[in-house]
Each structure stands twice: as structure tokens, then as C-alpha cells.
Amino acid sequence: MLKVVLITGISGSGKSVALRLLEDSGYTCVDNLPVRFLADFIATARADRMERVAVAIDVRSPGELAELPTTIAALRATGTQLQVVFLDANTNTLVQRYSESRRRHPLTERQQRGGKPPSLLDCINLERELLAALRDQEHVVDTSDLTPGQLRAWIRDLVTADTQRVLLTFESFAYKRGVPRDADLMFDVRCLPNPYYDPVLRPLTGRDPAVAEYLGSCEAVVRMIDDIAGFIRKWLPLYMQDTRSYLTVAIGCTGGQHRSVYVVEQLAQRFSDHSPLLVRHRTQLPVDIA
């Protein structure tokens, strides 16, 4: 069966990185495809017996964006295996990326009035408005603090997961870098004992045995994990009935290195019977996360 991945989202959030990863993975890729051609492209790919195609659609064709959610729903209704990945980033990150690349926002010329170009912030805010409906109903990946390598790994995991069932994702993050925009549920574990203050444990992570032993011996840590796991066990069936394909549970601590990482790893073990299941750590850890 033909598999279709649609990459969309906010300009500057990493769509080019994602599309290149898919192309390197054997997908036939088309960038900046007008919405009105999406169904025809998929029909052609199916007629040519292609197995995997990827398409990027974004604000570069703003006049048709309002039709995209309806087009996606219609294609899925006909049995098309269509996976949508919406990439996003916080405004500060987007401004920094545009400053580094010195590229113009794609809405700059379209929004120019009286010979005066709009500000970058104006363009970003308008783009968020244009894509709000699509963002609300598809899977979001916040790329704010991800390296290109992390983003490639996350996209690779996403497109290989069986999204016919709810994809359950546990991810750790650092509050000092801001909360992730892609979380459906968020839990704060900063109240737990912090291994950072132990000089021996400080350079380690929540995946190291010494840190795991330290946190696993704390009654408060065990209770916290029990409570979070119990909440998810209780309500996951209702999330699954809500016709959603993804549920992202974010666990945050101050630095995203010890407590949140350990709790995420423990939750992943407890929910190992759920498939598909992904584990993500936003803070770069010494060993790459597959």
C-alpha cells in the first residue's frame, strides 16, 4: 500500500531538514506542492506503483491552505495512508534562525502594503493564524531546541511507527529552555530530589545506573511515577476513542538531564505493552537516542 507523508508547519521550523531525511530514506519527495494537486499526485504515485512518497505543503501557497484539512480528511476517507507531521518552533527560535540564515519570510512580499514590508513578527503571527486549524488536528513536533540530527532521528521514528493505532510518546524536557509546544499532557517533576547537586552524579543522566539507583530509592520519585502512570492508564482509552493518532506526554525538570529523563525511561518500561511507543529526550544526552 502506498504510504504518504505530508510535511507542513511554520516556516523556519525545519521542514527542509525533514524532507531531505525522507528523500535519503527512499521516499519520492515533492516540495511546495499546491493543495489542489495533492490528490492527483497521490493518484499518479499509486498508478506508478510507488510505495513511499513525501510532500511538503506550507504557507508558500496561502490561498489554498484553508482547503488542506478538508483535502486530508477526504483522502483518508478513501483509504489513503496519509501521515501528517506539523513542525513548529517558538517565536524566539524562529527569529534567531531567520537572523542566522538571512532569508526572508515567504509572506513578506504578499503582505507588503504601501511599499512598506511587514516585520518578521507580523509574518510569523499571520502564518500561525493561517495554519492554526491544521495544527490543531495533526501531530506537532516542536523543533525549538532540537539539533538537525535530533530532528532527523525524530522524523525517522515517526514515519516508521504504525500510526493506525495511537502513537504514545514520552519525552523529557528542560524547563529552563521553555515548555515544548507539542505536548498533549505535561507533568512537572522539579519537586523531586535533584541528582545535579551530587558532584558524582552531576555529569551523568537519568539513563545511567548510578542516577537510576539514586532516584529509584526515593519514595517520592516512585510515588510520582505511579501517579503519572495511573493517570495515563486510566485516560488513555478515552484518548484512543477521540480518533486521535498521537498522544505526547512531556515530563519536565530544570535541566532535562536527570529527573525527567529517568521518569520518562521508567514510564516507557511500564507502557512497553503499548504499540507504537516512542521515547524522546530534548536535551542532548551523551548517547544518541534511536
Q: What value does the mean pLDDT take over residues 258-278?
A: 96
- Whether residues 155 and 18 fall in one domain: yes
DSSP per-residue letters across 46-102: HHTT-SEEEEE--TTSGGGGGGHHHHHHHHHHTT-EEEEEEEE--HHHHHHHHHHHT
The model's pLDDT over 231-240, given as tens digits with 9 standing for 90+, comes to 999 998 888 7
Q: What is the pLDDT of residue 290?
A: 32
Assessment of whether the complete model's pTM goes beyond 0.85:
no
- Whether residues 100 and 180 fall in one domain: no
Q: Which residues pair with 53 in a beta bridge?
A: 4, 28
- Whether residues 18 and 149 fall in one domain: yes
- Residue 57: which CATH number? 3.40.50.300
Domain boundary among 131, 160, 189: 160
pLDDT-derived band at 62, boundaries 50, 70, 90: low
- Whether residues 256 and 173 fall in one domain: yes
The model's pLDDT over 45-54, given as tens digits with 9 standing for 90+, comes to 999 999 999 9
- Whether residues 208 and 86 fall in one domain: no
Q: Which domain holds residue 82?
A: 3-160
Mean pLDDT of the chain: 91
pLDDT-derived band at 288, boundaries 50, 70, 90: very low
Residue 286 falls within a domain, yes or no?
A: no
Residue 287 falls within a domain, yes or no?
A: no
- Whether residues 136 and 7 fall in one domain: yes
Least confident of 42-46, 51-55, 151-155, 243-247: 243-247
SS3 assignment, position 113: strand
- Whether residues 69 and 145 fall in one domain: yes
Residue 288 falls within a domain, yes or no?
A: no
- Whether residues 177 and 154 fall in one domain: no
Domain boundary among 107, 142, 160: 160
In angstroms, the CA 228 to CA 127 distance is 35
**Has residue 289 got a pLDDT over 50?**
no
Domain boundary among 102, 128, 160: 160
Domains in the chain, number? 2
